[in-house]
C-alpha cells in the first residue's frame, strides 16, 4: 500500500512541478483544451503570491517521502510509528480536501473550465485517500485521528 502511495504522490509532485514551472515562466502547458492556461492565469492560481502548484508540489513531495519511509519500514519488517501514519494521513487528507475545494472553484468561479491537469491532480489525491482508508484497520484510523 505504501509503495503505491509513494508512486502516486511522486506523480502528483511531478505534475505540479511542471505546472509550477509553466506558471513561473509564463509558458503554455500541454493541454488538449484552453482551460489549463485559463486556470493557471486566473487569480485563483496563487495564494499570497505563491503559485498553488508549488504548494501542491510540496504537499505531494511530503506525502511521497512519508509513504516511501513507511514502505521501507514495512519491507524491513518494522512497524510504522503512529506519528508517521498520522502525518501521512493528515497530508493525504489535506491534499484531497484541497483538491475538492479547487474543483469546486473550477466549476463555480471559473465557469467549469476544462483543465485536464486539475482533474489529474484531483484523481491522484482521491486515489491516495482511497488507498489510505482501504489500507487502515480501526486501530490505525483511531491513531491517525488522534
**In the predicted model, what is the mean pLDDT of the chain?**
88
Indicate if the pLDDT at residue 51 is higher than 70. Answer: yes
Q: What is the DSSP string of 24-93?
A: HTT-----SSSHHHHHHTSGGGEETTEEHHHHHHHHHHHHHHHHHHHHHHHHTTPPPPHHHHHHHHHHHH
pTM: 0.87
Cell numbers for 78, please give them: 518494522
Higher local confidence (pLDDT), 135 or 12: 12
* Biggest distance spanned by C-alpha atoms of the chain: 50
What SS3 class is residue 97?
Answer: helix
Q: What is the pLDDT of residues 65-123, one digit of tens each?
A: 999 999 999 999 999 898 998 899 999 999 999 999 888 888 887 777 778 888 899 99
Indicate if the pLDDT at residue 144 is higher than 70. Answer: no
pLDDT at res. 106: 81
Q: What is the pLDDT of residues 36-49, one digit of tens each?
A: 888 888 888 888 98
Amino acid at each position: 500500500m505504501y509503495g503505491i502511495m509513494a508512486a502516486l504522490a511522486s506523480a502528483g509532485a511531478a505534475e505540479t512541478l511542471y505546472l509550477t514551472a509553466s506558471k513561473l515562466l509564463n509558458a503554455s502547458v500541454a493541454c488538449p483544451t484552453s482551460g489549463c492556461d485559463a486556470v493557471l492565469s486566473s487569480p485563483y492560481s496563487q495564494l499570497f503570491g505563491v503559485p498553488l502548484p508549488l504548494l501542491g508540489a510540496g504537499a505531494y513531495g511530503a506525502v511521497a517521502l512519508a509513504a516511501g519511509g513507511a514502505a521501507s519500514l514495512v519491507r524491513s519488517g518494522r512497524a510504522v510509528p503512529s506519528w508517521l501514519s498520522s502525518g501521512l494521513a493528515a497530508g493525504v487528507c489535506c491534499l484531497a480536501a484541497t483538491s475538492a475545494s479547487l474543483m469546486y472553484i473550477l466549476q463555480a468561479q471559473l465557469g467549469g473550465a476544462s483543465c485536464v491537469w486539475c482533474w489529474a491532480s484531483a484523481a491522484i489525491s482521491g486515489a491516495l485517500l482511497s488507498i489510505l482508508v482501504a489500507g487502515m484497520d480501526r486501530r490505525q484510523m483511531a491513531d491517525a485521528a488522534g
